[in-house]
Amino acid sequence: MIKVSARPFDFDLDPSQAALVVIDMQRDFIEPGGFGDTLGNDVSRLTAIIPTTAALIRLFRDQSLPIVHTREAHRPDLSDCPPAKRLRGKPGLSIGDEGTMGRILIAGEPGNQIVSELAPAAGEIVIDKPGKGMFWATGLHERLQERGITQLVFAGVTTEVCVQTSMREANDRGYECLLIVDATESYFPEFKASAIEMIVAQGAIVGWATPLAKLEAAFEQEMADG
Q: What would the x/- binding string for ligand C5J be over residues 10 to 49, using CB under 6 A?
A: --------------x----x--------------------
Catalytic one of 37, 81, 129, 177:
129
What minimum distance in Å lies between the beta carbon of 152 and ligand C5J? 16
What minimum distance in Å lies between the beta carbon of 41 and ligand C5J? 9
**Of residues 128-167, which lie at the interface with ligand C5J (CB under 6 A)?**
157-158, 161-162
Nearer to ligand C5J, 192 or 214 (CB): 192
Q: What would the x/- binding string for ligand C5J be over residues 193 to 212, using CB under 6 A?
A: --------------------
Closest Cα partner for 51 from 212, 161, 218? 212
Determine the size of the site formed for ligand C5J (CB under 6 A): 7
Q: How far apart are CA 41 and CA 83, in angstroms?
A: 23
What minimum distance in Å lies between the beta carbon of 40 and ligand C5J? 14
Q: Verify whether residue 24 is a known catalytic residue.
A: yes
72 lies in the site for ligand C5J, by CB under 6 A:
yes
Q: What is the 3-state secondary structure (H, E, C) of the chain?
A: CEEECCECCCEEECHHHEEEEEECCEHHHHCCCCHHHHCCCCCHHHHCCHHHHHHHHHHHHHCCCCEEEEEECECCCCCCCCHHHHCCCCCCCCCCCEEECEECCECCCHHHCECHHHCCCCCCEEEEECCCCCCCCCCHHHHHHHCCCCEEEEEEECHHHHHHHHHHHHHHCCCEEEEEEEEEECCCHHHHHHHHHHHHHHHHCCCEEECHHHHHHHHHHHHHHC
Nearer to ligand C5J, 56 or 162 (CB): 162
183 lies in the site for ligand C5J, by CB under 6 A:
no
What minimum distance in Å lies between the beta carbon of 29 and ligand C5J? 6
List contacts with ligand C5J (CB under 6 A): 24, 29, 72, 157-158, 161-162
